[in-house]
Amino acid sequence: MPLQETAVLARIRALLPGGEDLQDDCGDLPPCAPGRRWLVTTDLMESDQHFRLDWHPPDLLAHKLLVVNLSDLDASGAKPYGYTLTLALGPEITEAWLETFLAGLAEASREAQVVVIGGDTVGRPAGLGLGLTAFGQATRWLRRDGLQPGDTLFLDRLPGASLRGLRKLQAGQRWDPKRPDPDLAAHLAPAPGLGLGLKLASIPEVHACLDLSDGLSRDLRNLAQASGLSLVLEPGLDPDALRGGEDYCRCFGSSLSQADLESSLGIPLISVAHAIAAGAAPVLAYDGDSLQPLPDLSFDHFGRP
């Protein structure tokens, strides 16, 4: 039996934190405290473009949908508050599938202490479309355009695990909760270091930051172009780190030393590049003794999956 919109809305209201207040045409955002501002981010996820229904468990898919948005807020220095949810459901989405998805989203919402404040639902001829828009408050907005010459670019962990997980899924391996594979977990249920962005925003010598979701070859380019500089890669980086996406690391630039930052943040960091005046390309890599432009090796969201 096809899903009915009234039944879908009833389960959203019953399961999601904040769902009991979904009665009106609009949701409410409380006023910001003095010196704070609202930040907003949104992500779309389409079946057979960003995920496959036959290999992504619905509860893990819901977790991923939420945390990738919260990761954007965190990397910008914002504390998450809530989100709107959009569901475009094809006929293959069953009541049991949806119940598991919403239960996973509810659990992830409680863990992150965020609430649903609105959204929309619609049917579609086939497949699944997911949209989530998240809101958070920041005292200092960590942007991409603040890098300074001489800054070092750091990561809180090395990317590439999600790409390895994707390759395993493409080769036929599937998620087994009794024997969780760390690479599959990185792809299906990412765990960004939420809270680190707030700490980074409190350090004046951290000049720029982003959520590393498209691989180093593209996201370093995004930082360089926004700041009007070039970035020189550290030699010896793993090719998967350059190509892979969906790792959701914090990638930030600072004039402080690695030792000082690690002492302040209480975590190990990885140095991946340093900023110089704008050169021949946004991102440069050593080829022997010479610097050469690094091409964009990342996933094309408008290409064929």
The answer to whether 45 and 129 are in contact (CB under 8 A) is yes
- Enumerate the β-bridge partners of residue 177: none
- Alpha helices (H) in the chain, listed in sequence order: 5-15, 58-75, 95-112, 161-170, 182-188, 196-201, 216-227, 239-243, 258-265
Helix (H) or strand (E) holding 123: strand 115-123
Instruction: Give the SS3 label for residue 148.
Output: coil
Residue with tokens 């010459």: 149
Average pLDDT over residues 96-101: 97
By the 8 A CB rule, do 244 and 215 touch? yes
Distance of CA 118 to the CA centre of its chain: 21
Per-residue pLDDT for 27 more than 70? yes
Does residue 17 carry a pLDDT above 50? yes
CA dist 131 and 68 (Å) reads: 11
Amino acid at the residue 201: A
Tens digit of each residue's pLDDT (9 = 90 or more) over 108-164: 999 999 999 999 999 999 999 999 999 999 999 999 999 999 999 999 999 999 999
Q: What is the pTM of this model?
A: 0.94
> What residues have CB less than 8 Å from 163, skipping those under 6 apart?
187, 215, 240, 243, 244, 245, 246
DSSP track, 137-169 = EESS---STT--TTPEEEESS---HHHHHHHHH
**pLDDT tens, residue by residue, 158-190:** 999 999 999 999 999 999 999 999 999 999 999
Predicted local confidence at residue 115, as pLDDT = 98
Whether residue 305 is predicted with pLDDT greater than 50 in this model: the reply is no
The domains found in the chain, sorted by start residue, are 5-138 (3.30.1330.10), 152-293 (3.90.650.10)
Res 238: pLDDT: 87
pLDDT > 90 in the chain, percent: 88
Q: What is the pLDDT of residue 46?
A: 96
Residue with tokens 């086939």: 126
The mean pLDDT value of the chain amounts to 94
The two three-digit tokens of residue 70, written as one number: 């919260």
CA distance 12 to 207: 40
How many Cα atoms occupy the beta-carbon half-sphere of 105 within 13 Å? 32
The answer to whether 253 touches 207, Cβ cutoff 8 Å, is yes
Asked if 266 contacts 172 with a C-beta cutoff of 8 angstroms, the reply is no
Three-state SS at 26: coil
How far is the C-alpha of 76 from the C-alpha of 139, rounded, in Å? Answer: 10
